Amino acid sequence: MREKTIAVLPFVNMSASEENEYFSDGMTEEIINALARIRSLRVTSRTSSFFFKNKNIPVRQIGQELKVNTILEGSVRLAGDTLRITAQLIQAEEDFHFWSETWDRKLENIFEIQDEISLLIADKLREHMGHFEIQEHLVNKQTDNITAYELFLKARFYFRKWNPTDVKTAMELYEKALELDPRHAESVLGLADCYGFMATAGFMPVEAAWGKAAELTYKGLELNDQLADGHYQLANLHFFTACDYEGALKEGLLAIALNPNFIEAQQYLAFLYTLAGEKGQARQHLDMALEIDPISQETLFFSAYFDYMTENYPEALRKLDKCLDHNPRNIPAHSVKCYCLIKMGRYEEALHYFDHLPQDIVVPGDKLGITALAYAHKNDLEHANQFLDELIRHAATPEGFRSSSFLYFMYAVLGEKDKAFEWVREARDHKFSLLLLHFADPMVNALKKDPRFLQYQKEIFHLPEPQKIKKTSKDLLDAATTKAYVGRLIRFVEKEKPYLDPGLSLRSLASAIDIHPNQLSWLLNESIGKNFNEFVNYYRVEAFKQLATDSTNAHLSLLGLAYESGFNSKTVFNTYFKKETGLTPKQFLKEQE
C-alpha cells in the first residue's frame, strides 16, 4: 500500500430533492480531479470510488480493497442558492477520523468553494502523511455562468450512465449549457465525448458522429489546452479516424503529463504500447492504472488483452472470464476469449461459442471471422475456404469493416502472405484504424519473420522521440538556508509554544517563521525527519508530561491535561503518546510515581 494514497467516496446528497444527486456527484468528481493534480498523491479514480456509492461497507474494508490509507467522506446540501458541505478525513486502517470541517457558502462562489475545500484537504493530508508540494490553486474558475455549470454537472451525470437514451439527454444539457456560455470548454469537450460514444457504439452514422466529435474536441482545446480529457479525446480521434499511432500516443502522453491520475489515459497508453509490442511500457501503465483504479473492470480487460498479445493465453482467459462474470455483455471480452480458445486448440468451443450468446451482442463480422479462423487452425481447409469466401463477400458490404480485418488473419493463417500484405497496404492507404488493432496480433505470427512485416511495423508503430527531461535537485532549500530555517523553527516553537493552539496548521506555522508552506513541509520531512503532525505532537506530548507531573494539576483529568497541551482529540492524543513513549498515559504516570 502506498503511503500517500486517498479515495474520495461519493458525497451524500442531503438536499430535500433527490434530483440534486447530480450536484453531490459532481462535487465529488471535482474534488477528485483537484486532488489528482497533486503529483505525489495517489488518488483513486472516480470509477473505483463510486463503486461504493450507497453501500454499507466498513471504511477499513474499503481502504483494503482500494489499497489506500486515507478515506474522504462528505455530504452536500443544496437549498436554493445556499450550499452546506461537510467533509471528514479517516485513517482507513484504524478507522478513526483525524479531521472534519463544515462550510456554508453561496452557490455563486462554487469554484472558490471547491478550491478552498481541496486546498484544505490537501494541507491536512500533507500534515498527516508527509511532504508533497501543493499548488497555489487546485480548482480554476470554469465559467461566470453558474446555471451553465449546473447544466454541465447534470449533463456529465447522465453521460456516466453509458446508454444511448441518457447520453442523448446529456447532449441536450451540454447544448443548453453552451447556449448560456459558448466558451465553456468543459461542456464543449463533454459534448464531443457524447458524439464519440455514439460513434463507437454505433448509435449514430459513424462518419458524421466522428466528424462532429473532432470539430468539438479541437474547439474545446482551443478554449483550454490544459484539459487532460481533451487530449485523451484527441488521442482517440488520431487512432480511430486517422489511423495515426504516433499522434494517438503523443496526445495520450500529454494527457497523463497534465494529470497522471487520469485512469482512462493510463489504460489507453497501456493498450497502445501493447499493440506496438512495447511490453515494458505497457506493463508500467497497466500497473499505474491498477494503482489508481484497483477494482476497474476496464483495467482488467486491458490486462487480459496484454496477456493475449504476449501469448499468455491461460492467464488471459482467466481474466476475461472474470470480466464476463461482472458484465456478460462485454463484446470485446467475448471476441478476445474466442481468440484465446483458438490459440489454445479448443476449436469446437470457439466454433459454437456464439450459439449461447444473446444475439443483440453478437457482431456478425466477428462470428463469421472467428468461425473461419477456428476451421483454418483446425486445418479443415474445406470449411475454412468456404467461410473465407463469405468473409470476402461480407467485407464488400457497407457494414463489413469487421469482416475485412478477419481477411488479414485468414490470409496469414492459410499461408497466403502476399494477400495478407496487400491487405496491410490498402488498410494503410485508406487509414483503416483496425490496421493498428490487428497488425501484430498473435493470429498473424506466421508473418512476423517476413521482411515486409518488419518494414510495415516500423512505419505503422512509429514511436515519438522521448522527451529530454531536465534533472533538477529535489532539495527545495540549499544546505545553509536549511540550517538557518531549522534553527529559526526550533527557536520559535520552543519560545512561543504555538503547538498549544489546537488549530495550528502547517500554513500558519510557515507564515509565522516567514517561509513558504511547501518549503516548511520539505524542511520538516527531509531535514528534521518528521511530518507536521509528528513534529507538533512531539512538543504536545512533552507539554503533557510537564503538566501531568506537576502536583498542582492533580485535580485535572488526563484528557483535560491533553487538551491543555494542544491536543483536540482523545484518539490522536493516545496514539501519539504511545508512539513517542511506548507507554499509555496511565502507565507513564505510574512510572513517575
Domains of the chain and any CATH numbers: 5-141 (3.40.50.10610), 479-592 (1.10.10.60)
Do the strands 5-8 and 12-13 form a parallel or antiparallel pair, or are they unpaired? unpaired
CA angle 95, 100, 103 (to 5 degrees): 150
Compute the distance between CA of residue 354 and CA of residue 580 in angstroms, rounded to an integer: 65
pLDDT digits (tens, 9 = 90+) for 491-531: 999 999 999 999 999 999 999 999 999 999 999 999 999 99
Residues of the chain with pLDDT under 70: 1-2, 464-476
Question: Cell 529530454 belongs to which residue?
Answer: 468
pLDDT digits (tens, 9 = 90+) for 36-91: 989 889 999 998 999 999 999 999 999 999 999 999 999 999 998 899 999 999 99
Q: Is the Cβ–Cβ distance between 585 and 545 less than 8 Å?
A: no
Buried b (16+ CB within 10 A) or exposed e, 6-27: bbbbbbbbbbeeeebbbbbbbb
Look at residue 80 in the predicted model and tell me its pLDDT. Answer: 87
**Residue closest to 129 by CA, chosen among 5, 260, 291:** 5
pLDDT digits (tens, 9 = 90+) for 325-371: 988 888 889 999 999 999 999 999 999 999 888 888 887 788 999 99
Compute the distance between CA of residue 149 and CA of residue 172 in angstroms, rounded to an integer: 14
DSSP type of residue 385: H
Question: Cell 479443415 belongs to which residue?
Answer: 380
Contacts of 298 (CB under 8 A, 6+ apart): 47, 264, 267
Q: Is the Cβ–Cβ distance between 305 and 274 less than 8 Å?
A: yes
Look at residue 340 in the predicted model and tell me its pLDDT. Answer: 98
Look at residue 334 in the predicted model and tell me its pLDDT. Answer: 93
SS3 160: coil
Alpha helix segments (H runs only) across 3-77:
21-35, 46-50, 59-66
**Residue closest to 70 by CA, chosen among 27, 136, 24, 121:** 121
Contacts of 263 (CB under 8 A, 6+ apart): 45, 46, 47, 289, 292, 293, 296, 299
For the record, the C-alpha cell of 251 comes out as 496526445
Look at residue 162 in the predicted model and tell me its pLDDT. Answer: 76
SS3 415: coil
Look at residue 475 in the predicted model and tell me its pLDDT. Answer: 63
Compute the distance between CA of residue 497 and CA of residue 99 in angstroms, rounded to an integer: 22
Look at residue 471 in the predicted model and tell me its pLDDT. Answer: 40
DSSP type of residue 526: I
Compute the distance between CA of residue 367 and CA of residue 360 in angstroms, rounded to an integer: 12
Q: Which amino acid is at 218?
A: Y
For the record, the C-alpha cell of 396 comes out as 464488400
Look at residue 1 in the predicted model and tell me its pLDDT. Answer: 39
CA angle 233, 238, 244 (to 5 degrees): 155
Contacts of 367 (CB under 8 A, 6+ apart): 354
Q: At 458, which helix (H) or strand (E)? A: helix 451-460
Q: Is the Cβ–Cβ distance between 167 and 198 less than 8 Å?
A: yes
Compute the distance between CA of residue 93 and CA of residue 142 in angstroms, rounded to an integer: 37
Rounded to 10°, the helix 245-258/263-275 angle is 150
